[in-house]
């Protein structure tokens, strides 16, 4: 095995082992964790992600329901559906797949999901709890990255982490997670984004770079400190002369930076599997909390 490669699969498997035990424990007490996923429209990438979430539930023995609404559904129809799930005690997690069609107010929908069932950690109440250092849910992709760093024994404490990208899904919650006061965080964190001046100068000071900008091969060798750790969250489709007609590449120019870095996540096969693994963890956490059951961490 390539010692530099941080693969997601073994880490996701370790999470699944932990979550499986927790599911068994909940079931012994008559609680059957359930996740509902809502997809509005027919975006092909979203369809793939939603299908993967359903499959992960099936594999673990989490009940799941996928609700597909037509692209021209009204905002009210979506709100009504979410409210029904909020008040169903047999349903513990709700995920509305983003992006939503343009006529639907995404912020309003995020606020409609009950904070107790918000397995994405998108609701302002859950974001607030994370920022104030007392999180209920952990944001899936950032929590998956922390899991990977822990699994591969890459310390973050007192390290300088530069997060490239300020999205609500990855960049901002990543910052907040790495600022937590615990051994798997305690980092000094810088966020850089499209309006940052001299972005390369910041990245070059990083011990760990987390790239989440959605631009293929954006980060180059000259921007990295020798021996730095690179976590690439990007999944970009590039046209290619193959059967599929495209290939997936990250936000980091993998081939070019490979010699410079000490560790790097491949794309695909790096961070990718972690998001769904953490979603399963959040669903089980939500089911436990809603039934006032204390879960053991390991
Ligand atoms: N679209 C892309 N990533 C995500 C995610 O983590 N959660 C939801 N709900 N939608 C997404």
DSSP string for residues in 124-168: HHHHHHHHTT--SS--HHHHHHHHHHHHTT---TT-EEEEE---T
pLDDT tens sequence across 133-167: 999 999 999 999 999 999 999 999 999 999 999 99
Q: Which among 285, 273, 291, 296 has a CA at the least distance from the CA of 118?
A: 285
The pLDDT of residue 271 is 98
98, 100, 110: residue to mutate for ligand 1 pocket, most atoms within 8 A of CB: 98
Return the structure tokens found at 217.
């091969």
The pLDDT of residue 296 is 77
Q: Helix, strand, or coil here: 229?
A: strand
The pLDDT of residue 1 is 52
Integer CA distances (angstroms), 195 to 16, 72, 165, 173, 211, in order: 39, 35, 10, 19, 15
**Residue ranges of E strands in 6-76:** 34-40, 63-69
Residue 12 has pLDDT above 90, yes or no: yes
* Beta strands at 236-239 and 246-249: parallel, antiparallel or unpaired: antiparallel
Give the percent of the chain with pLDDT over 90. Answer: 98
Confirm or reject: Cβ of 282 under 6 Å from ligand 1: no
Q: What is the C-alpha separation between 209 and 254, in angstroms, rounded? A: 13
Q: Averaged over 45-62, what is the pLDDT?
A: 97
Confirm or reject: Cβ of 140 under 6 Å from ligand 1: yes
The pLDDT of residue 2 is 77
Q: Helix, strand, or coil here: 41?
A: coil
Return the structure tokens found at 93.
């997690």
- Residue 242, CA atoms < 13 Å, CB-side half-sphere: 8
pTM (predicted TM-score): 0.97
- Among all chains, which residue has been given the structure tokens 């760990």? 208
38, 43, 49, 127: residue to mutate for ligand 1 pocket, most atoms within 8 A of CB: 49
pLDDT tens sequence across 67-122: 999 999 999 999 999 999 999 999 999 999 999 999 999 999 999 999 999 999 99
> Going by CA atoms, what residue is nearest to atom 9 of ligand 1?
97
Mark 91-118 as b/e (b = at least 16 C-beta within 10 Å).
bbbbbbbbebbeebeeeebbebbbbbbb
Task: List, in sequence order, every residue forming a beta bridge with 162; answer none if it has no partner.
Answer: 190, 209
Q: What is the C-alpha separation between 51 and 77, in angstroms, rounded? A: 22
Q: Which residue has the higher pLDDT, 297 or 280?
A: 280
Give the percent of the chain with pLDDT over 70. Answer: 99
Q: What is the C-alpha separation between 276 and 140, in angstroms, rounded? A: 7
- Among all chains, which residue has been given the structure tokens 């920022």? 131
Spell out the domains of the chain, with CATH numbers in brackets.
30-119+272-298 (3.40.50.10860), 140-267 (3.40.50.720)
Give the number of other CB atoms < 10 A from CB of residue 189. Answer: 20
Give the number of other CB atoms < 10 A from CB of residue 37. Answer: 22
pLDDT tens sequence across 210-234: 999 999 999 999 999 999 999 999 9
The pLDDT of residue 106 is 98
Expressed in angstroms and rounded, the spacing between residue 141 Cα and the centre of ligand 1 is 9
Return the structure tokens found at 81.
């559906």
The pLDDT of residue 297 is 67
Q: Averaged over 55-74, what is the pLDDT?
A: 98
DSSP3 helix / strand / coil % (the chain, rounded to 5): 40, 15, 45
Q: Which among 25, 2, 1, 105 has a CA at the least distance from the CA of 297?
A: 25
Q: Averaged over 51-65, what is the pLDDT?
A: 98
pLDDT tens sequence across 250-269: 999 999 999 999 999 999 99
- Residue 177, CA atoms < 13 Å, CB-side half-sphere: 26
Q: Averaged over 44-66, what is the pLDDT?
A: 97
Q: Which among 164, 166, 165, 170 has a CA at the least distance from the CA of 146?
A: 170
The pLDDT of residue 284 is 98
Q: Averaged over 188-215, what is the pLDDT?
A: 98
Residue 206 has pLDDT above 80, yes or no: yes
The pLDDT of residue 298 is 53
Summary mean pLDDT of the chain: 97
Residue 184 has pLDDT above 90, yes or no: yes
Confirm or reject: Cβ of 22 under 6 Å from ligand 1: no
């Amino acid at each position: 095995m390539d010692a530099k490669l941080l693969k997601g699969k073994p880490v996701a498997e370790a999470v699944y082992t932990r979550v499986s035990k927790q599911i068994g424990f909940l079931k012994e007490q008559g609680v059957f964790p359930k996740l509902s996923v809502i997809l509005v429209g027919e975006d092909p990438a979203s369809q793939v992600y939603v299908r993967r979430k359903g499959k992960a539930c099936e594999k673990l023995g989490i009940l799941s329901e996928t609700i597909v609404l037509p692209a021209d559904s009204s905002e009210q129809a979506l709100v009504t559906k979410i409210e029904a799930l909020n008040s169903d005690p047999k349903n513990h997690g709700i995920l509305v797949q983003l992006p939503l069609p343009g006529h639907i107010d995404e912020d309003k929908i995020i606020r409609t999901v009950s904070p107790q069932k918000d397995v994405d950690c998108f609701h302002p109440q859950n974001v607030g709890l994370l920022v104030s250092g007392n999180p209920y849910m952990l944001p899936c992709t950032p929590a998956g990255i922390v899991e990977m760093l822990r699994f591969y024994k890459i310390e973050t404490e007192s390290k300088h982490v530069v997060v490239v990208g300020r999205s609500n899904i990855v960049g901002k919650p990543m910052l907040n997670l790495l600022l937590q006061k615990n051994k798997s965080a305690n980092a000094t964190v810088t966020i850089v984004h499209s309006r940052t001046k001299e972005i390369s100068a910041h990245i070059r000071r990083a011990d760990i770079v987390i790239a989440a900008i959605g631009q293929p091969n954006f980060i180059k060798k000259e921007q990295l400190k020798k021996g730095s750790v690179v976590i690439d969250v990007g999944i970009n489709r590039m046209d290619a002369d193959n059967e599929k007609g495209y290939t997936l590449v990250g936000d980091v120019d993998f081939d070019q930076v490979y010699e410079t870095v000490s560790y790097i996540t491949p794309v695909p096969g790096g961070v990718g599997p972690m998001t769904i693994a953490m979603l399963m963890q959040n669903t089980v956490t939500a089911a436990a909390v809603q039934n006032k059951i204390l879960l053991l961490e390991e």
